[in-house]
Amino acid sequence: MTETLSRRSFLGAAAAAPLVGHTVDRTGFPAPAVIIPGAARFAAVASSNGLRGVAKAMELMTRGVDTLDAAVEGVKIQELDPEDTSVGYGGLPNEEGVVQLDASCMHGPSKRAGAVACLEGIKTPSEVARLVLKYTNHILLVGAGAKRFALSFGFREEDLLTSKSREIWLRWRANRGKEDDWVDVGEQEPIGPRPTGTINLNTINDRGDLSSVTTTSGLAFKIPGRSGDSPIVGAGQYTDNAVGSAGSTGLGEANIMACGGFLTVEYMRQGMSPTDAGLAALKRVVSLTPPRLLDPSGRPRYQLNFYAVNKRGDVGGASLFPSDYAAHDGRDATVRDTAYLFPK
């Protein structure tokens, strides 16, 4: 012990520190310190397109449905909505006009996870990811193998392109570049910004059991075979039943580099609120961003959001730039403003 830290000051600092405890896993080694929570309460938090999802998840959990099953039913609302061009049926395709879907999920009580990537022809990848979790010792299935797995469980192969998403793709294809073989549609028909989208949903019940799920059609017009963070456990979503759950939407590549879902949960393990944990994870993401993705002032040229809930049922949302998120606190489902690092 140094001269500058006496035994008395050390004990005083320890008394003022948050109350922590150590759990012991089955190997006999101590697990990391965990903030001892108060009584858990029902809660759900999601990206802003998950407003209907958090309401559905809350309804199911209060009827005794498992937190993961409730979360999957919540995100399926968007997966099955043909008007949502970012998730599931009607999702925007890759550059060849093929819809490829990604999803992952994690179940806190059982400490299990499942995921699929580049899944074609199946509307609800979240359900397939849950089957990987429940019935295999694997975590991630991809491409044709993921599709065969889904079909073996009775899923029906369908065309996921709607007339709306096909039209958007055709207009993008017509505007790709001046040197290709496609005719420009003209400035009077601007295509607008490149669309992206995902839904993440995290749940907790009154027993303190947590789950998380993230599902997406990925970056619009992506290179075939590209997967972002959504099917990556620890990036697109993560759950530790002793601490909390977190997930993300936005540029997946940036989030993968920081393992953002896991990192947000780890910050909550240290005692941060869900919102502060998300902000801290975003700072790490920015620090890992290559210069080509930063503007001259050092701000990211992309958006990234984190959504989180801790073991008590406190929820929060954080983003690089002003945004919003959906949450249900047991009373009603609302859209709330995120905390953010940079003004627009």
Q: Which of 106, 96, 144 is nearest to 122 (CA)?
A: 144
Give all strands of the β-sheet with 333-337 in edge-to-edge order.
140-142, 112-119, 101-107, 210-216, 198-204, 43-47, 324-328, 333-337
Q: Please give the Cα distance from 317 to 65 (Å, whole number).
A: 25
228 vs 186 pLDDT, higher one? 228
* 222: containing domain: 51-174+191-337
185 pLDDT higher than 90: no
Asked whether residue 187 carries a pLDDT value surpassing 80, the answer given is no
Confidence of residue 56 (pLDDT cuts 50, 70, 90): very high
Grade residue 179 by pLDDT with cuts at 50, 70 and 90: low
In a domain, 38, yes or no: no
Sign of CA dihedral 90, 91, 93, 99: negative
One of 67, 85, 198, 264 is an active-site residue; which one?
Answer: 198
> Is 19 a member of any domain?
no
Whether 285 is covered by a domain: the verdict is yes
Average pLDDT over residues 176-191: 52
Longest dimension (CA), the chain: 78
* pTM, entire model: 0.86
Strands 112-119 and 333-337: unpaired
Contact 103, 216 (CB under 8 A): yes
6 found inside a domain? no
- Average pLDDT, integer, range 245-269: 97
- What per-residue confidence (pLDDT) applies to 9? 42
Asked if residue 81 is part of any domain, the answer here is yes
Question: Distance (Å, rounded) from C-alpha 169 to C-alpha 163?
Answer: 10
Q: What is the pLDDT of residue 159?
A: 96
pLDDT for the residue numbered 176: 75
17 inside domain: no
Residues 76-106: tens digit of each pLDDT: 999 999 999 989 999 999 999 999 999 999 9
pLDDT at 5 over 60: no
pLDDT the model gives residue 175: 81
Strand partners, 250: 304
CATH number at residue 297: 3.60.20.30
- Name the band, by pLDDT with cuts 50, 70 and 90, for residue 33: low
Flag whether 28 is in a domain: no
Average pLDDT, the chain: 88
Q: How many domains does the chain have?
A: 1
Is residue 198 part of the annotated active site? The answer reads: yes
The mean per-residue pLDDT over the stretch 281-286 comes to 98
Evaluate whether residue 326 is within a structural domain.
Answer: yes
Question: Rounded to 5 degrees, what angle do the CA atoms 77, 82, 83 make?
Answer: 95
